[in-house]
């Protein structure tokens, strides 16, 4: 979903579109390919259907204002029992973009300025919405049970872990951790 700012009338324009599912899921979970061997991968978040975005975009001078909402439903494992939980996400979109100043190269971002940049006349709205959805994913997901002890699956896992660690003084599966140096 790429728009040209010259196509936006002074009154602004509404855009309703879907976010590409494959692209979004790859972007969310792609970070795991960067996790170094020996480190735990991040829990997987997977959107089930293409999220919907509805935006109102208007231009004032050279500033572009993007307001609206993006919503979708994703699956992620409960942090206690690993059950896959379906969660709805609805994110408010409020972005201001200004032309990228010449003194910044393509990779650089001025931090803390409160707005982003666009290059040329085009804005990739799908890319911006994907970014906002990812930033607003909750860090932990838990199932509807109010506590670990009330979740039968989580309780069973804890019992199993306790049993295993009692069976062997110093679980041999943990031996690898004892060889790691603390930096
Ligand atoms: Zn759970």
Of 10, 134, 123, nearest in space to 61 by CA: 10
pTM score: 0.77
- Note down the domain range covering 173: 145-183
Q: How far is the CA of 144 from the centre of ligand 1 (A)?
A: 7
Q: How far is the CA of 28 from the centre of ligand 1 (A)?
A: 22
**DSSP-assigned beta bridge partners for residue 46:** 75
Total number of domains constituting the chain: 2
Answer yes or no: is pLDDT of 181 > 70. Answer: no
Q: Please list, residue by residue across 131-140, b when 16 or more beta carbons sit within 10 angstroms of its beta carbon and e when fewer do.
A: ebbeeeeeee
Q: How far is the CA of 43 from the centre of ligand 1 (A)?
A: 14
Q: How far is the CA of 79 from the centre of ligand 1 (A)?
A: 7
Same domain membership, residue 118 and residue 37: yes
pLDDT digit string, tens, across residues 28-50: 988 888 888 888 877 889 999 99
Same domain membership, residue 159 and residue 101: no
Same domain membership, residue 106 and residue 167: no
Same domain membership, residue 107 and residue 94: yes
Which residues have C-beta under 5 Å from ligand 1, the single-atom ion? Answer: 78, 80-81, 143, 151
pLDDT digit string, tens, across residues 88-146: 999 999 999 999 887 776 666 655 567 889 999 999 999 999 999 999 999 888 888 88
Same domain membership, residue 135 and residue 164: no
Answer yes or no: is pLDDT of 15 > 90. Answer: yes
Same domain membership, residue 34 and residue 108: yes
Same domain membership, residue 99 and residue 35: yes
Q: How far is the CA of 108 from the centre of ligand 1 (A)?
A: 41
Same domain membership, residue 96 and residue 26: yes
């Amino acid at each position: 979903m790429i728009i040209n700012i010259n196509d936006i009338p002074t009154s602004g324009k509404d855009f309703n579109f879907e976010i590409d599912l494959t692209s979004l899921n790859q972007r969310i979970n792609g970070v795991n390919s960067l996790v170094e061997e020996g480190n735990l991968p991040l829990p997987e978040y997977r959107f089930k259907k293409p999220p919907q975005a509805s935006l109102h975009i208007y231009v004032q001078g050279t500033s572009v204002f993007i307001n609206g909402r993006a919503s979708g439903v994703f699956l992620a494992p409960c942090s206690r029992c690993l059950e896959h939980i379906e969660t709805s996400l609805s994110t408010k979109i409020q972005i201001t973009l200004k032309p990228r100043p010449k003194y910044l190269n393509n990779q650089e971002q001025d931090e803390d300025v409160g707005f982003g940049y666009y290059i040329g006349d085009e804005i990739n709205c799908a890319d911006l919405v994907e970014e906002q959805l990812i930033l607003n994913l909750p860090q932990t997901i838990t199932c509807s049970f109010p506590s670990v002890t009330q979740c039968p699956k989580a309780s069973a896992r804890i019992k199993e872990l306790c049993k295993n660690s009692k069976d062997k003084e110093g679980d041999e599966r943990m031996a690898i951790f004892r060889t790691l140096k603390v930096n």
